């Protein structure tokens, strides 16, 4: 059968909703925090040379850029039919059904599903690094990558080694100071964090990180909606705890003709955003109601925006109260991950797994077409004591609040 016919059959069975398979991603430079419900025996199942699995990608049409030896489908989301006998890539489903799957306006603009989300689950902090803006990413055939963070309580039974995130540079930092750090990368600790500022991470809040902004994510397990790209470069040479970063990651996603050009690395940085004296107020995000709770709570649910300062990707947290059945409508297609509770999501069983084996299919992740989202999804909480909590990731959403 063709991809189109397999997708149409799965959508017919699912009432406009695709059931997605977990997409696990290793990183050779990371150490798993072991909070994403993967079985303890499976974090290194791909081999020590690939590194530990510390990410799970959601609603992804993006190939993970993990260098030589990376499987062609690493990072890509698969969907499965109701009986589990047929499967296909969400990437190919979008290419075959186009606007019928994600909405005509979104398809006409991007010719793809233009975002994904993921869990980032590292035991320690990441290096101070940058995701390129469109103009620089285009030089290596990629798109720029704005991203956002949210730190769910349900996934943070421990805070890891360093639950603080560095963002940008201290106001008043000179460009010459940053350039000197980059030139010192191969000499040992380049001390780039000496000219940055850190923020203690707070559960159930988040941060907006535009492309071009240096950031060293802390060690909380993080839900990260972002634009559909895996472009980055590491600007810090030695991490907290003495872990070293290979120099090739400083030049990652720099065009071949710019390798060794520190002026180019400086140009990748969005300088004004990095030295913004009001960075906290401009980038921090606490949940805000999508609809007033006094209106929705009597109906059985709470709907909140959790990532809302980026127009290209956004996210909501939806809570369904115990024993309630609700019809939830949204203005755009979305992917979702259920992080608490069990019940029904449209025709599908919905449940939050405690433990997942590598390669196992779950009932916690789905993709909702634009039509199904607009028509509304009926959700039933089958527990009489526990909430259902769902995180929903959107690309462009016309209901995004204007700030």
Do residue 295 and residue 184 come from a single domain? Answer: no
Cβ(290)–Cβ(303) below 8 Å: yes
Do residue 272 and residue 302 come from a single domain? Answer: no
Q: What would the pLDDT profile of 112-166 be if each residue is shown by its tens digit?
A: 999 999 999 999 999 999 999 999 999 999 999 999 999 999 999 999 999 999 9
pLDDT at residue 11 is higher than 90: yes
Q: What would the pLDDT profile of 65-82 be if each residue is shown by its tens digit?
A: 887 888 999 999 999 998
pLDDT at residue 35 is higher than 80: yes
Do residue 227 and residue 314 come from a single domain? Answer: no
Do residue 297 and residue 267 come from a single domain? Answer: no
Position 26 confidence tier, pLDDT thresholds 50, 70, 90: very high
Do residue 117 and residue 172 come from a single domain? Answer: yes
| Residue 2 counted as domain residue | no
Do residue 239 and residue 173 come from a single domain? Answer: yes
pLDDT of residue 261: 98
pLDDT of residue 41: 97
Do residue 279 and residue 322 come from a single domain? Answer: no
Do residue 153 and residue 241 come from a single domain? Answer: yes
pLDDT at residue 383 is higher than 90: yes
Do residue 261 and residue 376 come from a single domain? Answer: no
pLDDT of residue 66: 81
- Cα separation values, 358 from 118, 150, 354, Å: 16, 25, 13
Boundary of a domain, candidates 285, 305, 326: 285
Do residue 172 and residue 255 come from a single domain? Answer: yes
pLDDT of residue 27: 86
CB atoms within 10 A of CB 366: 26
DSSP H helices, 98-170, are 99-102, 104-110, 134-137
The mean per-residue pLDDT over the stretch 213-218 comes to 97
Boundary of a domain, candidates 254, 285, 316: 285
Residue 178 lies in domain:
24-65+105-285
Do residue 263 and residue 318 come from a single domain? Answer: no
Average pLDDT of the chain is 96
| Residue 84 counted as domain residue | no
Q: Which two tokens stand for residue 304?
A: 């909140």
CATH of the domain at 302: 2.60.120.10
| Residue 77 counted as domain residue | no
Do residue 250 and residue 321 come from a single domain? Answer: no
Position 302 confidence tier, pLDDT thresholds 50, 70, 90: very high
Boundary of a domain, candidates 254, 269, 285: 285
Number of domains in the chain: 2
| Residue 40 counted as domain residue | yes
Position 104 confidence tier, pLDDT thresholds 50, 70, 90: very high
Picking from 237-251, 310-324, 346-360, which range would have the lowest pLDDT averaged per residue?
237-251
pLDDT of residue 364: 98
pLDDT of residue 393: 98
| Residue 379 counted as domain residue | yes
* pTM for this predicted structure: 0.96
| Residue 90 counted as domain residue | no
């Amino acid at each position: 059968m063709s991809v189109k016919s397999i997708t149409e059959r799965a959508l017919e069975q699912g009432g406009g909703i695709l059931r997605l398979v977990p997409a696990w991603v290793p990183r050779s430079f990371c150490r798993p925090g072991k909070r994403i419900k993967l079985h303890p025996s499976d974090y290194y199942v791909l081999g020590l040379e690939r590194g530990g699995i510390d990410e799970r990608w959601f609603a992804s049409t993006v190939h993970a850029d993990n260098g030589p030896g990376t499987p062609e489908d690493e990072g890509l989301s698969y969907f499965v039919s109701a009986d589990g006998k047929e499967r296909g890539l969400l990437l190919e489903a979008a290419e075959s059904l186009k606007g019928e799957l994600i909405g005509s306006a979104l398809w006409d603009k991007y010719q793809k599903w233009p975002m994904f989300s993921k869990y980032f689950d590292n035991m320690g902090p990441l290096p101070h690094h940058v995701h390129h803006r469109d103009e620089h990413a285009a030089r290596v055939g990629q798109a720029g990558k704005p991203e956002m963070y949210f730190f769910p309580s349900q996934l943070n039974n421990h805070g890891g080694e360093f639950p603080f995130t560095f963002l940008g540079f201290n106001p008043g930092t000179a460009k010459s100071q940053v350039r000197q750090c980059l030139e010192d990368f191969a000499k040992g600790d380049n001390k780039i964090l000496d000219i940055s500022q850190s923020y203690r991470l707070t559960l159930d809040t988040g941060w907006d990180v535009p492309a071009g902004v240096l950031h060293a994510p802390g060690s909380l397990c993080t839900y990260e909606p972002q634009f559909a790209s895996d472009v980055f470069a590491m600007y810090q040479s030695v991490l907290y705890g003495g872990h070293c970063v290979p120099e090739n990651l400083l030049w990652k996603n720099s065009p071949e003709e710019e390798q060794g050009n520190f002026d180019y690395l400086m140009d990748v940085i969005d300088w004004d955003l990095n030295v913004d004296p009001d960075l906290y107020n401009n980038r921090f995000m606490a949940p805000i109601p999508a609809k007033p709770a006094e209106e929705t709570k009597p109906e059985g649910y709470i709907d909140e925006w959790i990532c809302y300062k980026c127009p290209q990707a956004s996210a909501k947290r939806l809570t369904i109260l115990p024993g309630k059945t609700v019809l939830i409508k949204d203005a755009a297609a979305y992917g979702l991950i259920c992080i608490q509770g069990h019940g029904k999501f449209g025709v599908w069983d919905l449940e939050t797994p405690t433990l997942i084996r590598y390669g196992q299919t779950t009932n916690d992740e789905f993709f909702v077409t634009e039509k199904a989202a607009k028509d509304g999804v009926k959700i039933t909480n089958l527990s009489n004591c526990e909430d259902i909590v769902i995180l929903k990731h959107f690309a462009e959403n016309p209901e995004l609040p204007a700030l």
